Amino acid sequence: MSVAPVPLAQAIATHVADGACIALEGFTHAIPFAAGHEIIRQRRRDLHLVRMTPDLVYDQMIGMGCARMLTFSWGGNPGVGSAHRLRDAVENGWPRPLVLSEHSHAGLAAAYVAGASRLPFGVLRGYLGTDLPQVNDAVRSVTCPWTGEALAAVRAVNPDVTILHAPCADREGNVLLRGITGAHKEAALAARKLIVTVERVVAHLDAHLNSVVLPHWVVAAIAVVPGGAHPSYVQGCYDRDNAFYQRWDAISREREGFLRWMERYVLGTRDHGELLRALAADGVVRLAGGT
Amino acid sequence: MSAVAPFTPDEMMTVAAARLLWDGCVCFVGIGVPSAAANLARQSHAPGIVLIYESGTIGTRPAVLPLSIGDGELADTATAVVSLPEIFAYWLQGGRIDVGFLGAAQIDRFGNLNSTVIGPYARPQTRLPGAGGAPEIATHARQTFVVLKHTPRAFVAVLPFVSTAGFLAGSGARARSAAPGAGPQVVITDLGLLRPAPDSEELTLVARYENTSVAQARAATGWPLRVADTVEVLPPPAPEELRVLRDLHERTRRAHARAVVLPAGP
C-alpha cells in the first residue's frame, strides 16, 4: 500500500491530537518548521514535545502555548544565544508552565534507540558526576550483570507521532534522508506514527544502497511542502538561513514582538507557501524565480 | 607588518587555545570559541587535525565557521556523516577522541561545568540552554579543553548545577569514578591558562599573556585562585595567526548574512 501525499493541514488534523506526545526531529538540519507552524495554526494544546535541540520551532510552539511538557537535551538558539520563549516558560510560566525532562544528547539519543527497538530503556556510560539524574526521573542507574559496573539507564522515548522533513519521497511514499540525519531515523521508528513533509515527490529516489531510507509502510502521512524546513535547511536544496536565526533573537526577546511576528507570519497565513511569500515580500528570504 | 599587531582579548584566547591542538589530533569540537580555535589550528599549524562535531560530521573542513553545530557546510566538507546515536556511542564512548573541546557558562575550581541554570533548577533566575553533548564528551574524551572568559560570574566557588563533571571534588575523585577520560587538562581564558594541580586537581594559573596579570586573574576568580610558582608568559598572536583568524571570521560574517534562496511554493 503506497502512501499518497495529502495537504499538511490534513495530516496534522488527522494525526496530531491535543495532549499527544510528539517529536519534531531534525538535528539542526531538516527541521520540520512548516509542520510546527501548522500545529500552531490548528491551536493544539497540552502537547508533550520531544526534541534533542528545541531551537526556534519549539520556541515558537512553546511561546504560542501548545506545550505542557518538554523532553530535550539542549534548548537554545544555536550559535546565537537563548531560546527566549522557552526561557520565559521555564522562568516565569508564560504563557503556561512547562514540565522539563532534561537529558544529555548521548542520553536522549540512547532513549530514542531504545524506543525504536521497543526496549524499556537505553543504556550508556553517561551522566557521570552530573546533577541531571537528580532532576530527571527518566535517568536512573542499572548494574552490568557481568562486571557489576553501574551504567546510566534512560527510559525509552516512544512519541505518539514523530514528524520529519526530508528532501524527497518517491511515488510509493518511500522517504530518503540525506546529510546530517541526527536521530531522525530513530525518532521515526520509535514513534507510533510517522508524518513526513518533503520538498518534492520524485519518480525514483536514486538512493545509494546504504542510504537512509524510511520505507512507505512505516509512514502514516506525507505532505509535499517546498521550503518546509526554513529557516533550517535541506542538504543539496537550500541553505540554513543563519541571518534569520540571528534575527530571531530580537524578534522573540519580548512577548509582544514575538506575538506580532507569529500573528503576521503564522496565524495570518493559511499555509507554508503563503508564509514564505510573506517573508519574501518583506525581504527576509528570496524565492527561486521570484523577486 | 609589525610583530605585535593590536588584538582583542577574544583573539588572544582563541589563538592560545588553537596552539594547544596538534597535527593529527582527533578533536570533538563544541560551537563558538572551540570551533574557531580548532579551525584556526587546522588552517595554520595542524592541517591534519580531525574535527568531529556532535552532529555526526567526521573529519570536517569547513571554509566558514558554522553558526550551529549542524550547518550544511560541516556535512559538505566531511569525510563521513553518521547518525547521532553512532557518533556518541561508537566514536565518543568508543574511546576514539583525543580532545573534547568545550565552552561553558560557569566553572568551579575542579573544572566542573554548569550550562544548565543560574538559581534553583525548578525556578531558575536564568535558564541556560543545557548540557547538550558535554557530559559524555567530558567523560570519554582522553582529555578535555575548556575555554571561557575569565570573570567572577563564570569562575564561581559553588556551581548552582553540575551539568558536566570535571574532577568532581578533586584529589582523585574522578579517577575513582567510572570516567575513562583524564578530564579537563587545561582551561583557556582571556587572561591565561589554568591546569589541574597534580595532587588536589585544583585549577591552577600556570600561564598569562603579555598584557594580562596574575592580579587580574585573581580578581576575576570567585575563589582564592591557586597560582603556579612560575607563571609562564605566552607570546601575543603572531601576524599570521591573526590574519587566518580574521579571514575566517570575515568569511563567516559574509556567509551568515547572505539571503537564502528557497524553492517557490506550489
Is A23 within the bounds of a domain?
yes
Nearest alpha carbon to residue A70 among A39, A94, A47: A47
d(CA A286, CA A280): 5
Indicate whether A214 and A112 sit together in one domain.
no
pLDDT of residue A237: 95
* CB proximity list for A142: less than 8 A, separation 6 or greater: A121, A123, A150, A151, A152, A153
Number of domains in chain A: 2
- Tell if the CB–CB gap between B71 and A28 is shorter than 8 Å: yes
**Are A146 and A237 part of one and the same domain?**
no
Which chain A residue is nearest to residue B259, measuring alpha carbons?
A285
Question: Is B111 within 8 Å of B196 (Cβ atoms)?
Answer: yes
Q: What angle, rounded to 10 degrees, do the helices at A56-63 and A33-41 form?
A: 0
Say yes or no: A85 and A151 in one domain.
Answer: no
Looking at the structure, tell me whether residues A141 and A81 fall in a common domain. Answer: no
Residues A165 and A77 placed together within one structural domain of the fold: yes
Q: How far is CA A12 from CA A68, B216, B265, in A?
A: 18, 57, 19
The answer to whether A82 contacts B71, with C-beta atoms less than 8 Å apart, is no
Boundary of a domain, candidates A134, A155, A176: A155
CA distance B203 to A20: 47
Quote the pLDDT of residue B3.
53
CATH number of the domain bearing residue A18: 3.40.1080.10
**A289 within a domain of the structure (yes/no):** no
- Same domain as A266, residue A215: yes
Q: Are strands A67-72 and A47-50 parallel, antiparallel or unpaired?
A: parallel
- Residues A264-288: tens digit of each pLDDT: 999 999 999 999 999 999 999 999 9
What ipTM does this complex have? Answer: 0.96
Q: Give the Cα separation of B259 and B179 in Å (integer).
A: 45
Q: Say what percent of chain A tops pLDDT 90.
A: 98
Q: Compare all CA atoms of chain A with the CA of B266 and give the residue at the minimum distance.
A: A273
Task: Give the residue from chain A lying closest to B58, CA to CA.
Answer: A180
Query: Which domains, from first to last, does chain B contain?
Result: 9-251 (3.40.1080.10)
- Contact flag B130-A126 (C-beta cutoff 8 Å): no
CA B251 remoteness from chain centre: 21
In a domain, A221, yes or no: yes
pLDDT band at B4 (very low <50, low <70, confident <90, very high): low
Instruction: Answer yes or no: do A25 and A81 share one domain.
Output: yes
Structural domain that includes position A112: 107-155
Provide the grid cell at B55.
Answer: 552532529
pLDDT, one tens digit per residue, over B46-80 is 999 999 999 999 999 999 999 888 899 999 999 99
Band of residue A290 on the pLDDT scale cut at 50, 70, 90: low
Q: Do A228 and A246 fall into the same domain?
A: yes
> Do A117 and A189 reside in the same domain of the chain?
no
List chain B residues with CB under 8 Å of A55.
Answer: 68
Distance CA B5, CA B11 (A): 11
pTM: 0.97
Query: Which pLDDT tens digit goes with each residue over A19-70?
Result: 999 999 999 999 999 999 999 999 999 999 999 999 999 999 999 999 999 9
Q: Which residues of B are catalytic?
A: 54
User: Would A170 be classed as within a structural domain?
Assistant: yes
Q: Which residues pair with B28 in a beta bridge?
A: B52, B100
Residue A290 lies in a domain: no
Q: Is residue A291 part of a domain?
A: no
Contact A74 B130 (CB under 8 A): yes
CB atoms within 10 A of CB B81: 23
